[in-house]
A = this chain, B = another copy of it.
Amino acid sequence: MSAIANDNFERLPKNYLFAEIGRRTEARRLRHPGEAIIKLGVGDVTRPLAPVIIEAMHKAVDELASKETFKGYGPEHGYMFLREAIAANDYKGLGIRPTDIFVSEGAICDGGNVSDIFGKDATAGITTPVYPVYLEANIMAGRQIRFIPCNASNDYTGDIPSEAIDIIYLCYPNNPTGAAISRSRLKEWVDYALKNGSIIVYDGAYEAFIRESELPRSIYEIEGAKYCAIELRSFSKTAGFTGVRCAYSVVPEELGKFHSMWAKRQECRFNGVSYITQRGAEAVYTPEGRRQTREAIDYYAGNAAIIREPLVELGLEPVGGVNSPYIWARTPGSMKSWDFFDLCLEKAGVVITPGVGFGESGEGYFRISSFGEREDTAKAMQLLKSLIYSL
């Protein structure tokens, strides 16, 4: 490979998870034409946008239609109307300022881009099983990776490392495992970071799914976190924005140079989010917006309960599905992830996600997403239950 190319790309894992799922699903469809296939694999929302968001976006589109109300470039870090709404609602009482908040077009982008402010020689601690963006962005940047295994022995929240790791990526409620983190365990991570001078990148994209009131909703509920943690949040799952694209990062002033570096990074390499999108996101914080978006989250939470129950009954020790939209469970009889995937697809016509797609530590597990239709979800679980009992 030429010296012009970033040869770190050669170190990227060959990950074709969703492409491979698509390929096998299509092959099954061709083998059994006309037979229904229920997809509970991909973590994409299916409920329409809330009426109050639709209304706000129509209004914003109309503003762009006339000279008097037209909007050109917006502020790179987001319109203050949205940054203020976020600070006042999502961080009420936590001392996060609107200027600590940076509006972006997606948590995937933030999760990757935040890597730009860290040095090449910094070490990156990645919990595993893992959603690929953190791992891949750090490999692209040429960093050394330290894997932090998450499993039943540590409630899927990782053991605090004995060595000092520079950047720690945590995601709770977790994708893919659906595990939530307790206040006391999160405090252990914050204390670790403060002691070692580490930075925690805390992905809270699934915060809206937290139901148990004793769980922390933001890392900034933990004392000292403002001095060591960046938090990422998204409207994707909270408000059904996976196709609209809006998220935000919180990089508090207390992080000093990291705050100013991130501000500079976004000013230089980013140019703000669509005005229409930001007006839509603002509407999420109105009383109707809160009520209407809550309805969709409750719908998915209802699905999660329907998925979780038979898995408990079957002894597959499911994690998640209480404070998260994902359910993670053992395959029956410790089957390989892909073998179980094939079995579910062939015999039940149900698409799940093989755990090994999130790294080797996911082998022998599978993930089910609660973002489908209620009726499909219930039917799929009925089919899976019969299938597993028949094994």
Contact = CB atoms under 8 A, between A and B. Distances in A.
A182 interface: no
A49 interface: yes
B199 A166 contact: no
A160 interface: no
Nearest to A8: B119
Interface in A236-292: 240, 242-245, 257-258, 261, 264-265, 268-277
Contacts of A9: 117, 261, 264
A112 to B, nearest CB: 3
Contacts of A240: 70, 72
Contacts of A30: none
A109 B269 contact: yes
A108 interface: yes
Given A3-B166, A49-B64, A243 B72 contact: yes
Contact of A245 (B58, B65, B132, B271): B271
A1 interface: yes
A119 B72 contact: no
A152 interface: no
A240 B61 CA distance: 13
Interface residues of A, number: 76
B70 A49 contact: yes
Interface stretch (A134-142, A325-333, A360-368): A134-142
Interface stretch (A40-48, A306-314, A339-347, A377-385): A40-48
A240 B7 CA distance: 38
Contacts of A245: 105, 271-274
A269 B288 CA distance: 33
Nearest to A67: B48
A74 interface: yes
A274 B244 contact: yes
A42 B64 CA distance: 19
A245 B133 CA distance: 23
Contacts of A120: 6, 120, 142
Interface in A56-102: 57-58, 61-62, 64-67, 70-74
A268 B8 CA distance: 14
Given A198-B4, A199-B4, A57 B61 contact: yes
Interface of A: 1-7, 9, 12, 42, 44-49, 51, 54, 57-58, 61-62, 64-67, 70-74, 105-106, 108-109, 111-113, 116-122, 132-133, 136-137, 140, 142, 166-167, 197-199, 240, 242-245, 257-258, 261, 264-265, 268-277
